[in-house]
Amino acid sequence: MATPVVELKRVSKYFAKVIANKDVSFCAYEGEVVALLGENGAGKSTIMKILYGLYGADEGTILIRGQETTVRSPRDAMQRGIAMVQQHFSLVPTHTVTENIILGNARGRISLKEENQKIQALANRYGFDIPVEAKVGNLAVGVQQKVEILKALYLNTNILILDEPTAVLTPQESDNLMEFIKTYAAQGNTVLFITHKLKEVMEVADRVVVMRDGMVAGDLRRSETDEHKLAKLMIGQDLTANAQPALREFSDESTILELRNVTVEQKNQPALLEGVSFAVHAGEIFGIAGVSGNGQDAVCEAICGGREITSGEILCNGRSLVEDTIRQRIEAGIGYVPVDRYRDGLIMDMTLSENMLLKSSFSKHWTRHGLIDQKVLDRYTADLIQKHQVKATGPDETAKSLSGGNQQKMVLGREIDIGQKVIVFNQPTRGLDMGAVDRIHKSMLEEKEKGKGVLLISTELSELFEMTDRFAIMYKGKIMGIYRNGELSTEEIGLLMAGYTGKEA
């Protein structure tokens, strides 16, 4: 039998008392694509960082081509033909593509012309349409990811680790990446592919390693499994699918949130938003699709008061919010679940009770004779913990001690209570495991049934297809169109996300 290119034997990793990996064993062969599946915190990224030398294993053995190996650093890994493309790119935006790729990898006197030609030939070999002399900061996110992959290929990598590689890509870019993975593996290379998207696993993987609670829960050939079995292995139980929303007709009278020609300009830079108009109705989930960084955050901030608009109108129940403070918008019944819970949603060193108070400390519900009634606040927080199935010891636990999914559930509970009219969700399930995603989706549907207006920004088309009544597509701060769910194909949506109009498509 062939010798595995990579083999991990009973590898364990501990962070203080937390078990990140325990007795992890699996292997990958030449020309094979192995997908690593698991919930957020299941240990799949940690085990790959051990293989890449970012972490050291506390127990166990790593073998590369049958030889026991200690990988002490990424440089060690690269010398053994291992490269890793992480979720957050490590590119210098003011440098060109070529400069980024050769940075740290070229010695002595360098001919930039020759390096440009060498890297252009490498890009052409793998079908990557990349302008090698362009500055990385001027490139689309999907092209930047190709630059990261080229950095790995430049080093003659034959073991490529990809961590959630399609998170920032349009459907067409994702399809192109899948084709690259197949081509790269067919040339005798090995790909270790971390993803939470079951569709991608079934499309590209030869074998699937499922991780749960830091351990291997299953190691299956793709031909011997399906999405349902993989999902059950990931979470340890069956998930009940949410019913596809019954599409409703909405009248103008039911409009609860409206943006009219909203523009947000920046000095000496392109506008963040340009003439954005849409309406969200009571009892509707309205989505915004698009690759990250195309104005979605500015829409949320404009609605919730975190960013002044240059022109246009924002209306809630027919009343203008433009002159309102953030507090006035909170009092008007607008809740906001931000994309970055660490930066904008919670203060990590505060208790859960203190975090629940942050946006409504002025509320008479908490105060007695001008002082905070701690018992009332703790009781409210304990109720939220129970209602949203948060794994926490109680209201006195600090936010930083919770997992990402449980932190998000606490933010969700607070904002649902604040958002009596409208709730804005900005990528609420990003980076979360399937159990937490399921809970958040159910909460959104419950609020919709209560007649609230729900605005859902998501880069996941599958999430928008599952949850929304209508959705808009954004590209570079503009609305490319507003459509009923089911009206466009994935390919048509992908073209609009990339900036192509219907005529050009």
Judged by average pLDDT, the poorest of 102-111, 229-238, 391-400 is: 229-238
Euclidean distance between CA atoms 440 and 325, whole angstroms: 28
Give the pLDDT confidence score for residue 425 in this predicted structure. Answer: 94
Regarding whether 332 and 192 lie in a shared domain, the answer is: no
Q: Is the pLDDT of residue 115 over 80?
A: yes
Regarding whether 140 and 97 lie in a shared domain, the answer is: yes
Which tens digit of pLDDT belongs to each residue from 42-58? 788 889 999 999 999 99
Give the pLDDT confidence score for residue 150 in this predicted structure. Answer: 87
Regarding whether 274 and 185 lie in a shared domain, the answer is: no
Residue 250 lies in a domain: no
Residue finishing a domain among 207, 235, 263 = 235
Considering the entire predicted model, what is its pTM? 0.69
The DSSP letter of residue 135 is B
Regarding whether 59 and 135 lie in a shared domain, the answer is: yes
Give the pLDDT confidence score for residue 500 in this predicted structure. Answer: 75
Residue finishing a domain among 235, 267, 292 = 235
The DSSP letter of residue 96 is B
Q: Is the pLDDT of residue 168 over 70?
A: no
Task: Answer for the pair 272, 265: CB distance below 8 angstroms, yes or no.
Answer: yes
What mean pLDDT do residues 280-300 have? 90
Regarding whether 178 and 111 lie in a shared domain, the answer is: yes
Regarding whether 264 and 180 lie in a shared domain, the answer is: no
Residue 480 lies in a domain: yes
Which are the contacts of 387, defined by CB distance < 8 A and separation ≥ 6?
413
pLDDT category, 505, cuts 50, 70, 90? very low
Residue 109 lies in a domain: yes
Give the pLDDT confidence score for residue 239 in this predicted structure. Answer: 53
What mean pLDDT do residues 399-412 have? 85
CATH code at position 103: 3.40.50.300
Tokens for 77? 């890994």
Name the residue type at position 358: L
Which is higher by pLDDT, 141 or 330? 330
What mean pLDDT do residues 127-138 have? 86
Euclidean distance between CA atoms 33 and 272, whole angstroms: 39
Residue 359 lies in a domain: no
53 three-class SS: coil
Residue 386 lies in a domain: no
Regarding whether 74 and 138 lie in a shared domain, the answer is: yes
Regarding whether 230 and 301 lie in a shared domain, the answer is: no
Buried (b) or exposed (e) across 237-248, using 16+ Cβ within 10 A? Answer: eeeeeeeebeee
Name the residue type at position 459: T
pLDDT category, 40, cuts 50, 70, 90? low
Residue 353 lies in a domain: no
Tokens for 478? 């503009």
Length of the chain in terms of residues written:
505
Regarding whether 284 and 227 lie in a shared domain, the answer is: no
Which tens digit of pLDDT belongs to each residue from 2-27? 899 999 999 999 987 778 899 999 99
Q: Is the pLDDT of residue 164 over 90?
A: no
pLDDT category, 446, cuts 50, 70, 90? very high
Domain holding 212, by residue range, is 6-235
Buried (b) or exposed (e) across 165-204, using 16+ Cβ within 10 A? Answer: bbbbbbbbbbbbbbebbeebbeeebbbbbbbbbbebbbeb
Q: List the strands of the sheet with 207-212, edge to edge.
A: 82-85, 159-163, 190-194, 33-38, 207-212, 215-221
The number of distinct structural domains making up the chain is: 2
Q: Is the pLDDT of residue 383 over 60?
A: yes
Euclidean distance between CA atoms 307 and 312, whole angstroms: 13
Regarding whether 322 and 218 lie in a shared domain, the answer is: no
